[in-house]
Amino acid sequence: MSDTVETVDYTEMWEGLGLNVPAHCALLKAIGPAYESVYLSQENRPEGMGYFDFVMSEIHGLRIQELQDHKADGGTVIGTFCVYVPEEIIRALGGQSIGLCAGAEWAFPEVEQVLPRNTCALIKSFMGFKLGKVCPYIESADLVVGETTCDGKKKAYEVLGELHNTHVMELPQMKRPEDRALWRAEIDRLVAELERLSGRTLQADALTAAITEVNDKRRALQRLNAARAAAAAPISGKDALLAVQVAFYDDVPRLTQMVNAIADELEARIEAGVSVAPADAKRILITGSPMAIPNWKVHHIVESAGGVVVAEELCTGSRYYDTLVPEDGGTIEEMLDAITDKYLGVNCACFTPNEARVDDIVRMAEEYGADGVIHYALQFCGPYQFEGFTVEKALREAGIPVLKIETDYSMEDAGQLSTRVEAFLEML
């Protein structure tokens, strides 16, 4: 992408995808100003964030056009909602993996006709985008790959399956050898489904290349995030969060290049002692339910209150990039084994027990020099609400202050949350 691209009218493309164009325009009109006030109002941002500003300005335009071109060249587009769905396999079979929109309220009254009211905002959001016909990503997707993680998602995929071509992977809820065997079989089922859809056969060289490409993306995100451990925060939490959110749907080699460029800049900032926050700004680690784009609510509240978010133990954070698939090559079976193990290593609250997540949070709070931790759970997100108690206990034992919040995507509680966050920062 270049920042000199002229404004293009994408109406025909959106109509071709079956979008409700007037409703879709209303959505874009809401996202633009929200992005401006949350992101463009920040001072002293790394120059490399200009790429992400451009991506956001073309979120339903140029990237969608790229996906249509990819399909016209014989490729597939695969929508996902979970970090457990292996991007390497999708890419090796000629697919582009797209993390689907699930971070804004849309058409909730319609959603509540088909799902219970007390469903988390993330699930309601993706159903709202589908029912309201306002998401060009899902309408571009040849297949949506779901997973049996929490009960809400599991049941929502039954409803989604009536509206869209959907394949559901059965994710075990424990990590014993027999669970690993089940997940390995599910990886084989996914390969078979994608081979059928694409008309291709999985090849070892394509899988090797895809593993390296996706690892490169994760390595770039690791570099960017490692820079946030510096005493003088070189980038805001909001910008770092955005880089991970965009990584779910952007072109992989380009995103890698752009994130590495930002990491270069941050490393130079650290050398020069340049920071986006005052030296006494309280450093916060955020953990909990994922924050799908454009959910920037908690980061914005923390940073507007004078804190700086230095790390995220989230699926839109460390759980997405902190481990790699070994690049030892080998046979297809061996590589699929390695993929099975890498993904089963993700510490989602849908698993029991899930002590490794608690260990990660305590370790990260120390590594990033966090003054405090915010445990964030979406309302009705049982897995993270339950684990909030375990996390709080472990952090208190480690002497790390913690604030637990439950919220949704509306701004109705923003004032009340700001007051609680301000009081927490003051107490640190």
The answer to whether 344 contacts ligand BJ8 (rule: CB under 6 A) is no
Please identify, among the stretches 16-24, 82-90, 278-286, 393-401, the one whose residues bind ligand BJ8 according to the rule CB under 6 A: 82-90
Closest CA to 344 of 192, 189, 219, 171: 171
Q: Residue 350, interface with ligand BJ8 (CB under 6 A)?
A: yes
Q: Is the peptide bond before 22 cis (omega within 30 degrees of 0)?
A: no
- Shortest Cβ 339–ligand BJ8 spacing (Å): 15
Do 24 and 75 touch, CB atoms closer than 8 A? no
According to the binding rule CB under 6 A, does residue 289 interact with ligand BJ8? yes
> d(Cα 371, Cα 402) in Å, to the nearest integer?
9
Q: Is 122 in the site for ligand BJ8 (CB under 6 A)?
A: yes
Q: Is residue 153 a contact residue for ligand BJ8 (CB under 6 A)?
A: yes
Candidate ranges 52-60, 117-125, 212-220, 390-398; the one touching ligand BJ8 (CB under 6 A)? 117-125
Strand-pair partners of 313: 287
Identity of the residue, 140 or 316, whose beta carbon is nearer to ligand BJ8 in the bound complex? 316
Amino acid at 314: L
Q: Which stretch binds ligand BJ8 (CB under 6 A): 76-84, 187-195, 198-206, 241-249?
A: 76-84
The single residue among 17, 56, 98, 123 that binds ligand BJ8, judged by CB under 6 A, is: 123
**Is residue 150 a contact point for ligand BJ8 (CB under 6 A)?**
yes
Task: Output the smallest distance, CB 378 to ligand BJ8, in A.
Answer: 5
Place of tokens 């930002």: 262
Q: Is 291 in the site for ligand BJ8 (CB under 6 A)?
A: no
3-state secondary structure the chain: CCCCCCCCCCHHHHHHCCCCHHHHHHHHHHHHHHHHHHHHCCCCCCCCHHHHHHHHHCCCCHHHHHHHHHHHCCCEEEEECCCCCCHHHHHHCCEEEEECCCCCCCCHHHHHHHCCCCCCHHHHHHHHHHHCCCCHHHHHCCEEEEECCCHHHHHHHHHHHHHCCEEEECCCCCCCHHHHHHHHHHHHHHHHHHHHHHCCCCCHHHHHHHHHHHHHHHHHHHHHHHHHHCCCCCCCHHHHHHHHHHHCCCCHHHHHHHHHHHHHHHHHHHHHCCCCCCCCCCEEEEEECCCCCCCCHHHHHHHHCCCEEEEEECCCCHHHHCCCCCCCCCCHHHHHHHHHHHHHCCCCCCCCCCHHHHHHHHHHHHHCCCCEEEEEEECCCHHHHHHHHHHHHHHHHCCCCEEEEEECCCCCCHHHHHHHHHHHHHHC
Question: Could you say whether residue 256 binds ligand BJ8 (CB under 6 A)?
Answer: no
Q: Which amino acid is at 209?
A: A
Q: Single out the residue of 290, 294, 317, 388 in contact with ligand BJ8 (rule: CB under 6 A).
A: 290
Instruction: Out of 378, 395, 405, 425, point to the residue binding ligand BJ8 (CB under 6 A).
Output: 378
Which of these ranges, 90-98, 147-155, 162-170, 296-304, lies near ligand BJ8 under the rule CB under 6 A? 147-155
The least CB distance from residue 425 to ligand BJ8, in Å, is 25
Site size for ligand BJ8 (CB under 6 A): 20
- Establish if 120 lies at the interface with ligand BJ8 (CB under 6 A): yes
338 is written with which tokens?
Answer: 């390695």
Residue 158 is encoded by which pair of tokens?
């039954």
Interacting span for ligand BJ8 (CB under 6 A) from 115-123, 229-237, 265-273, 390-398:
115-123
383 binds ligand BJ8 (CB under 6 A): yes
> Which CB sits closer to ligand BJ8, 120 or 134?
120
| Smallest separation (angstroms) from ligand BJ8 to the CB of 50 | 29
CA distance 238 to 303: 8
In the bound state with ligand BJ8, the residue whose beta carbon lies nearer, of 95 and 152, is 152
Work out how close the CB of 124 gets to ligand BJ8 at its nearest, in angstroms, rounded to a whole number.
Answer: 9
Among positions 346, 373, 394, 425, the unique one binding ligand BJ8 when judged by CB under 6 A: 346
C-alpha span between 360 and 354 (Å, rounded): 11
With contacts defined by CB under 6 A, name the span among 2-10, 33-41, 146-154, 293-301 that binds ligand BJ8. 146-154
- The nearest distance, CB 404 to ligand BJ8, in angstroms, is 15
Exactly one of 90, 258, 315, 395 binds ligand BJ8 (CB under 6 A); that residue is: 315
Asked if residue 82 binds ligand BJ8 (CB under 6 A), the reply is yes
Q: Does 83 bind ligand BJ8 (CB under 6 A)?
A: yes
Pick 277 or 374: Cβ nearer ligand BJ8: 374
Instruction: Please report, as ranges, the residues that interact with ligand BJ8 according to CB under 6 A.
Output: 82-84, 120, 122-123, 149-150, 152-153, 289-290, 315, 346, 348, 350, 378, 381, 383-384
